[in-house]
Amino acid sequence: MDWKSVSSSFHVLPASDVLAMRRMARHQDVRNRLDWLRSEEPPLALLFVSHRWETLEHPDPSGRQLRAIQDFLGRLCTCVEALLVSKEERLKLVPSLAYEGPLQAAEVARRMFGFGPFGDSPAGLGSRKARALVSAAFEKRRCDDGSFREWLTTRIGLWLDYTCMPQRPLSPEEEPEFRRSLGALDELVASAIVVALRQAGDDYAVRGWCASEFFLASERSFARGLFVDIDRLEKCEAVALSPAPAPAGAPEAVSAVMQEAYANDLAAFRRACEEWSSFQGPLAQATPADAWSAYRSLQGSGFYTSEQDPNPFRRALEAIRSLETTLVETWLLSAEPRTVDLGKMVGDCLARHGLHCSESADLVYLGFLLSCHGWVDAFKPLFQDCLKAYLARAVVGAHQTAEDAPPILRVRLTPLDAEVRALLSQVEPCSAATWHSRLSTGPSTRERAVVDQVRRALEANPPQFAIESAVRS
């Protein structure tokens, strides 16, 4: 989504309004009172706050999460200023990046200015324009105490679900907007910088909404999404460095490779922090070191089992792969037509991989939304059509009654032509796992010709399906 599309489809808050809040406000209570960002003024950065709701009625009754957001926004403004001044002034503002809050805020500031592998957020103003605009505003306002920060907070956009999206119960006028927002939520997430709020012992990684938001934001890169540990932020503590990996039962050579990778990532993180502290001129005129990516690499998924993995989207990723593999078996490799309740299949798959929602309809919705971003292109039309059909019938985002149970979504899957199935049998072993791997990650040299033939056949004649019903059970 570009900014014009985002602003026409979603309500986006300026950071200045978030800083003025005393409590997370329900959208309907403030919809006509807040000054939402307009299409003619693209923000310097668009932040999507991903967080665990504390109760079904209100996401943040204690106000702790809102205070953390406000703290982070303040640190972001400080880091933007720090990038624009020389070493002595920079270290007065931000002495070190090795602390919770400054590390993540500096990364957002870097992306705002277009630095690093993730400095290309499509909904922002654009790095060169942003850098020029911010630099000019800073020079104009730097001598007027607080003026630059006041201006900056009006140019940073923030999307917070409870305040920016209609909440149930919905009026008849609000229902279409709510469903349109759910249908485009993945595009919004991919257009923003996701900042996830985490707490010690939380269950963020197993909550369907949280894990899905982090997966959709990642574009399959472990370091793209940001997270902030509220406990460490409040105490101004150093960021947590994962211990060196010691995989139980791994061969000595494998363990040695992991240890070496960890040592290299740790050295890269320390070098980046040192560059922040030692570079003489304004870092905005150079290329600020990428401390965040090095920090996240220390927690690489290759070091952990699924249950221990600090990567919040690991379960979502594995659920999508499992669902696609099931469809390879029941659809692409089958000679018989099948009729399946794909909604139940999707919801059951996410649940098997340890993802939970307070309501079953939400889990099915998230399963369809995630699957639209899977690896097998031939399945995407199916999931996109099912997502639309499901949203037209299901009650998502509400505490449900018996009458609001997820609808049955029956889909008839038509077998592939015999010629294509014959091509599939030429790869050994001809299994669902093998073909999911070939269609998602690519073939070996020996199999390339036949796999390319199958891909061309699926593109020329996509697998056929028909949604037979989307009715209440």
Q: What is the pLDDT of residues 342-375, one digit of tens each?
A: 999 999 999 999 999 999 999 999 999 999 999 9
Asked if 144 and 9 sit in the same domain, the reply is yes
Number of domains in the chain: 2
Q: What is the pLDDT of residue 209?
A: 97
> Of all helices (H) and strands (E), which one includes residue 229?
strand 226-229
Which structural domain, as residue segments, surrounds residue 163? 3-302
Q: What is the pLDDT of residue 407?
A: 81
CA distance 343 to 94: 49
Helical segments of 279-357, H only = 291-297, 314-327, 342-352
Asked if 154 and 285 sit in the same domain, the reply is yes
Residue 195 in 3-state DSSP?
A: strand
Residue 167 maps to a domain: yes
Residue 309 maps to a domain: no
Asked if 408 and 384 sit in the same domain, the reply is yes
The answer to whether residues 16 and 158 touch, using CB atoms and an 8 Å cutoff, is no
Residue 152 pLDDT exceeds 90: yes
Q: What is the pLDDT of residue 304?
A: 65
User: Where does 92-166 show beta strands of DSSP type E?
Assistant: 156-159
Asked if 277 and 425 sit in the same domain, the reply is no
Phi, psi of 348 (to 5 degrees): -65, -40
Asked if 116 and 25 sit in the same domain, the reply is yes
Instruction: Kindly state the average pLDDT of the residues 155-180.
Output: 95
Asked if 192 and 82 sit in the same domain, the reply is yes
Q: What is the pLDDT of residue 354?
A: 94
DSSP string, 403-457: GGPPPEEEEEEPPPPHHHHHHHTTSSS--HHHHHHHHHH---GGGHHHHHHHHHH
Asked if 323 and 285 sit in the same domain, the reply is no
Residue 87 maps to a domain: yes
Tokens 């040299």: give the residue: 445
Q: What is the pLDDT of residue 463?
A: 96
Query: Which residue among 235, 270, 302 closes a domain?
Result: 302
Residue 430 maps to a domain: yes
Residue 215 pLDDT exceeds 80: yes
- Candidate from 242-251, 310-319, 401-410, 441-450 with smallest mean pLDDT: 242-251
Q: What is the pLDDT of residue 251?
A: 81
Of 14, 19, 12, which is closest to residue 66 (Cα–Cα)? 19
Query: Which residue among 280, 302, 324 closes a domain?
Result: 302
Residue 403 pLDDT exceeds 80: no
- The number of helices, as runs of H, and strands, as runs of E, in the chain is 22, 8
pTM: 0.94
Question: pLDDT tier at 298 (50, 70, 90 boundaries)?
Answer: confident
Q: For a pLDDT cut of 70, what percent of the chain falls above it?
A: 95
Asked if 448 and 326 sit in the same domain, the reply is yes
Asked if 158 and 21 sit in the same domain, the reply is yes
Asked if 348 and 461 sit in the same domain, the reply is yes
Asked if 51 and 101 sit in the same domain, the reply is yes
- Candidate from 74-88, 114-128, 330-344 with smallest mean pLDDT: 114-128
Residue 186 pLDDT exceeds 90: yes
The answer to whether residues 366 and 350 touch, using CB atoms and an 8 Å cutoff, is yes
Query: Which residue among 279, 302, 325 closes a domain?
Result: 302
Instruction: Kindly state the average pLDDT of the residues 4-17.
Output: 95
Mean pLDDT of the chain: 91
Residue 289 pLDDT exceeds 90: no
- Candidate from 62-76, 81-95, 158-172, 215-229 with smallest mean pLDDT: 215-229
Residue 42 pLDDT exceeds 80: yes
Residue 235 pLDDT exceeds 60: yes
Q: What is the pLDDT of residue 471?
A: 65
Q: Per residue in 413-472, pLDDT tens?
A: 999 999 999 999 999 999 999 999 999 987 777 889 999 999 999 999 999 999 987 666
Asked if 76 and 191 sit in the same domain, the reply is yes
Residue 307 maps to a domain: no
Residue 435 maps to a domain: yes
Residue 159 pLDDT exceeds 90: yes
> Of all helices (H) and strands (E), which one includes residue 467?
strand 465-471
Residue 296 maps to a domain: yes
Q: What is the pLDDT of residue 127?
A: 74
Residue 219 maps to a domain: yes
Taking phi over 0 as left and psi of -120 to 50 as alpha, with beta for the rest, 446 belongs to alpha
CA distance 367 to 287: 39
